[in-house]
Structure 1
Amino acid sequence: MKVIAAYLLAVLGGNISPSAENLKDILGSVGAEVDDDKIELLLSEVKGKDITELIASGREKLASVPSGGGGAVAVAATGGGGGAAAASAAAEPKKEEKVEEKEESDDDMGFSLFD
């Protein structure tokens, strides 16, 4: 992940096609270990590809991954919509969960471990 993050930082900084040295400089600036094999693998996989297209295809793949929570999947699937998704989520009425306050237990019979 740190190699991918370094690549994205380089691209955000204006370097459309970062080299291995650029990524090593970024990782070295924060004291991260540099793994040459991972850098070369990443650079070979993204060579000649547009970063925005890679991110878009990654979002599509992540949308199909089950995450266990029904509500979270719906939010993740519509997360790319930006303001429209936030507006539709805000339009839905929120369910109020009834929270019962737990009465203090007398299990310790009035004694504390550190009294």
Structure 2
Amino acid sequence: MGRSQKIPPVAQTARQSSGPPLLKLETRLDKLETRLTRLEETLNDIIDSRPFVQLEDSFKEETQRALTQLNSDIQSVASQLKVDKRKQTINKPYNLVVHGDYHQH
């Protein structure tokens, strides 16, 4: 039992063992979410500040396309992040136990 207490909790293990690829995905996701928020705020500001100005259809379509693409990118990164985290939470703790056993023999 004493040996199992030395193994960190699963979530902490996944975070510590994540390595650069997972960290890059988390950073990219944060940046994409920030960009999406800024775009939405900017678009709302434009619409709110010029209520009587008719926005051109092409501008509306282009903005909607950009927001849709950005949202798609965020979903893609988020799903990759979930897959990576699931793999790491399943695999890493067992690998640590196995390596620990090798060193103790």
TM-score tier after normalising by the smaller chain length: under 0.3
- Structure with the greater alpha carbon radius of gyration: 1
Higher relative contact order (CA 8 A, sep 6+): 2
Which is helix-richer, 1 or 2? 2
Instruction: Provide the TM-score with structure 1 as the length reference.
Output: 0.23
